[in-house]
Amino acid sequence: MITYLLLILAAIITSSGQLLMKKGSEILQNTLVAPERHQIAQGIIKKIFTIVLEPHVLVAFSLYFLGSFLWLKILTRGDLGRLYPVLIGMTIIFTSAASAVLFRETFTLTKAAGIIFILLGITMLMNFGLRQN
């Protein structure tokens, strides 16, 4: 049971990082445009700091870092070949749902069907393979 809760927490942390990265990319839209050939060396350090220090991006990186430590703990509780697909599947589900709400992204019938298949896969992996710790 603890393994399932840790996986859910890791997926929420990862998904939150993705959502913050998306918000940061919207704010940095003009900064992220590729520079003209003659401007490549000019101000590149400033551009890197602008991107990394944007608050949404900074928190997203922090969440990824925190999620990595949690992932290390999760890996001690089962097989990578079963845990990783479950983590990624849950992250896709949380991110898809939240992006539809927060960013008004479309949620199509095809996306809903894909999520149903992901849920079926997660159910199969969780019922037939995770060590109970």
Residue 115 corresponds to which amino acid? I
Instruction: Write out pLDDT tens, residues 12-35.
Output: 999 999 999 999 999 888 777 766
Q: Give the tens place of pLDDT for each residue, 33-60.
A: 766 665 555 667 778 888 889 999 999 9
pLDDT, one tens digit per residue, over 77-114 is 988 988 999 999 999 999 999 999 999 999 899 999 99
Residue 118 lies in a domain: yes
The tally of domains found in the chain comes to 1
- Residue 24: inside a domain: yes
Query: In this structure, is residue 16 part of a structural domain?
Result: yes
Give the pair of three-digit tokens for residue 71: 């992932």
Q: Is residue 66 part of a domain?
A: yes
pTM of the model: 0.82
pLDDT for 41: 59
- Tell me if 37 is assigned to some domain: no
Q: Which domain holds residue 80?
A: 2-29+43-127
With respect to residue 36, please indicate whether it lies within any of the assigned structural domains. Answer: no
DSSP string, 82-107: HHHHHHHHHHHHHHHHHHHHHS----
- Residue 73 structure tokens: 């703990």
Rounded to whole angstroms, the Cα distance separating 70 from 62 reads 13
Specify if 99 maps to a domain: yes
